[in-house]
């Protein structure tokens, strides 16, 4: 039976360059993949607005996962011909706790940790620009979160472990991204991807997806673990994350965005599909 590939990819530092967020080198490859109806699932800590901005540029009308697995969005069929997308073009098929839920719990039960971290609303624009690497014009989309909060940890690792333990008592968790800690419910990128694939199997009547997953940070581990072909993308001047799985992760030689293309095309069968006429 022919393999139906599905690509699940992190964005920052994986698909997008770590410093300049560039992906232009991959535009032709992305177009070829889309022409062959191979799903490219952005599975990211980014928000809906941040992902949509990239999708508009790529004209990529496919499902995606936001805020580290906390929200899964699926395209509405009759809007496929559009080149520009909005919230009305996707339906939310799964989500965890809301941002308001999270803030209520933190405000009520975590006062003893108040000096240990700062939420984004406590940071100045200058601090946010420095940490995120984004220009000021793009901060609005970063901050427009629905299912999570970003925080900067100011204390030691022992305190962080205590914080994590208490979070679990309230159905919350924190995961490390490339630049921030992400405060959310119990969702993660792996569980969300599994849920999305099950949804897609029913919608598309396909039952043999082979999953290619690409990531670079700790919040990508669960996604990589559930894939058939896990890839770790190199981050400049940083060691690869520790990763244990039944499938050995391949490591890119180059950082993003070239490392993304390099990884995808290192699979001979997939590369052959890209060479076939549509």
Per-residue model confidence as pLDDT tens for the chain (278 residues): 456 899 999 999 999 998 889 999 999 999 999 999 999 999 999 999 999 999 999 989 999 999 999 999 999 876 666 667 788 899 999 888 999 999 999 999 999 999 999 998 899 999 999 999 999 999 999 999 999 999 999 999 999 999 999 999 999 999 988 789 999 999 999 999 999 999 998 887 777 889 999 999 999 999 999 999 999 999 988 899 988 877 789 999 999 999 999 999 999 999 999 988 77
pTM equals 0.93
Tokens 């999270």 correspond to what residue?
102
HSE of 61 in the Cβ direction (CA atoms, 13 Å)?
18
Query: Which 8-state DSSP code applies to residue 195?
Result: H
pLDDT for position 3 = 66
Q: Which residues contact 6 (CB under 8 A, 6 or more apart)?
A: 38, 39, 41, 197, 200, 209, 210, 211, 212
Handedness of CA 215, 57, 86, 120 (dihedral sign): positive
229 close to 247: Cβ distance less than 8 angstroms: yes
Give the separation between CA 48 and CA 6, rounded to whole angstroms.
21
What per-residue confidence (pLDDT) applies to 80?
A: 61
Predicted pLDDT of residue 1? 43
Q: Is cis: bond before 257, omega within 30 of 0?
A: yes
Are 65 and 48 within 8 A, CB to CB? no
| Predicted local distance difference test score (pLDDT) of residue 83 | 67
Do the beta carbons of residue 145 and residue 153 sit within 8 Å?
A: no
């Amino acid at each position: 039976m022919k393999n139906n590939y599905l690509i699940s990819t992190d964005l920052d530092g994986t698909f997008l360059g770590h410093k300049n967020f560039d992906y232009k080198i991959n535009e032709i490859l992305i177009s070829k993949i889309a022409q062959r109806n191979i799903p490219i699932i952005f599975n990211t800590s980014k928000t809906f607005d941040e992902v949509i901005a990239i999708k508009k540029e790529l004209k990529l009308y496919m499902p995606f996962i936001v805020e580290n697995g906390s929200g899964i969005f699926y395209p509405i069929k009759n809007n496929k011909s559009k080149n520009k997308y909005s919230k009305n073009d996707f339906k939310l098929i799964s989500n965890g706790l809301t941002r308001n839920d999270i803030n209520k719990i933190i405000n009520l039960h975590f006062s003893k940790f108040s000096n240990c971290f700062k939420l984004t609303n406590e940071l100045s624009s200058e601090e946010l620009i420095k940490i995120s690497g984004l220009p000021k014009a793009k901060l609005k989309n970063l901050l427009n979160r629905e299912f999570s909060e970003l925080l900067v940890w100011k204390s030691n690792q022992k305190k962080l472990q205590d914080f994590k333990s208490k979070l679990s008592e309230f159905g919350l968790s924190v995961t490390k991204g490339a630049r921030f800690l992400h405060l959310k419910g119990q969702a993660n990128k792996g569980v969300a991807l599994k849920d999305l694939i099950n949804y897609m199997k029913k919608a598309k009547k396909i039952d043999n997806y082979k999953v290619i997953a690409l990531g670079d940070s700790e919040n990508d581990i669960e996604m990589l673990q559930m894939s058939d072909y896990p890839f770790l993308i190199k981050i400049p001047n940083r060691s690869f994350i520790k990763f244990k799985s039944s499938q050995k992760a391949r490591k890119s030689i180059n950082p993003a965005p070239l490392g993304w293309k390099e990884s995808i095309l290192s699979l001979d069968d997939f590369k052959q599909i890209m060479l076939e006429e549509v």
